């Protein structure tokens, strides 16, 4: 299994999962880059996976289906009618010879879901490297509970969020914990990657446990405090 990022908008990644001549696309906010890549690599599209109902994650679906008309689209209830397979916590199925497990991961949106695809986690905007998405629902408890689910995953799971926010998240983390060595080192590394115009992703659950203060928050109150501070950073 090979996983390739397609850049979209300012800082989105649309992830393409490939095995031999088959591909699955996650959160195609726009179509052009996806269609060009599938063409160039001579890949067939097996499925589209959606994590939540925001336009920068779903905006390309119609145009992709115009070319690949019988492709199944998986997503949570909130992305209907774009998806023809509605998924929720505990669902599992097979794609590209890998087991795909579904988690409800609400907070950023009410119906946000994430996919554990083999050992790769596609978490949309529910987890970023060194951060999380904004809690647009106002339901901080839901987002906190979502983070506890991620903490229970194996340390070796690779984390593929939908945005390149790592550097800003780490600058925020450093402002909270200026003497934290793991954060200082991660920031150095990430700045190098960004200067070379390279993605800072994927991360891993082990790495997030080290550098992600929101994931580390031991209480709901601490999480709310950090999340609100990050909103204003």
Residues that bind Zn ion (CB under 5 A): 54, 125
CB 229 within 8 A of CB 171: no
Compare residues 54 and 227 and give the one whose CB is closer to Zn ion: 54
Question: Nearest approach, Cβ of 138 to Zn ion (angstroms)?
Answer: 15
Question: Nearest approach, Cβ of 134 to Zn ion (angstroms)?
Answer: 8
Compare residues 59 and 199 and give the one whose CB is closer to Zn ion: 59
The two structure tokens encoding residue 72? 């199944």
Question: Nearest approach, Cβ of 57 to Zn ion (angstroms)?
Answer: 6
How far apart CA 103 and CA 62 sit, in angstroms, is 25
Compare residues 48 and 187 and give the one whose CB is closer to Zn ion: 48
Compare residues 10 and 152 and give the one whose CB is closer to Zn ion: 10
CB 203 within 8 A of CB 159: yes
Question: Nearest approach, Cβ of 12 to Zn ion (angstroms)?
Answer: 10
Question: Nearest approach, Cβ of 201 to Zn ion (angstroms)?
Answer: 16
Compare residues 38 and 50 and give the one whose CB is closer to Zn ion: 50
In the chain, what is the straight-line distance between the N-terminal and C-terminal CA atoms, in Å? 37
């Amino acid at each position: 299994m090979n996983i390739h990022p397609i850049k979209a908008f300012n800082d989105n990644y649309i992830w393409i999962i490939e095995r031999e001549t088959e591909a699955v696309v996650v959160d195609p906010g726009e179509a052009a880059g996806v269609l060009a890549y599938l063409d160039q690599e001579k890949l067939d599209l097996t499925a589209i996976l959606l994590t939540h109902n925001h336009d920068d994650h779903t905006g390309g679906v119609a145009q992709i289906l115009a070319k690949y008309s019988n492709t199944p689209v998986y997503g949570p209830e909130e992305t209907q009618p774009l998806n023809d397979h509605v998924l929720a916590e505990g669902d599992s199925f097979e794609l590209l010879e890998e087991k795909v497990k579904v988690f409800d991961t609400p907070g950023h949106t009410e119906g946000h879901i994430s996919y554990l695809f083999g050992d790769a986690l596609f978490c949309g905007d529910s987890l970023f490297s060194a951060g999380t998405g904004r809690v647009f629902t106002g339901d901080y408890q839901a987002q906190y509970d979502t983070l506890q689910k991620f903490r229970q995953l194996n340390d070796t799971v690779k984390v593929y969020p939908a945005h390149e926010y790592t550097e800003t998240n780490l600058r925020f983390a450093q402002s909270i914990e200026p003497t934290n060595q793991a954060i200082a080192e991660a920031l150095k590394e990430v700045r190098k990657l960004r200067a070379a115009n390279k993605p800072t992703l994927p991360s891993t659950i082990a790495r997030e446990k080290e550098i992600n203060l929101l994931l580390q928050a031991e209480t709901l109150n601490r999480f709310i405090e950090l999340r609100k501070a990050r909103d204003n950073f």
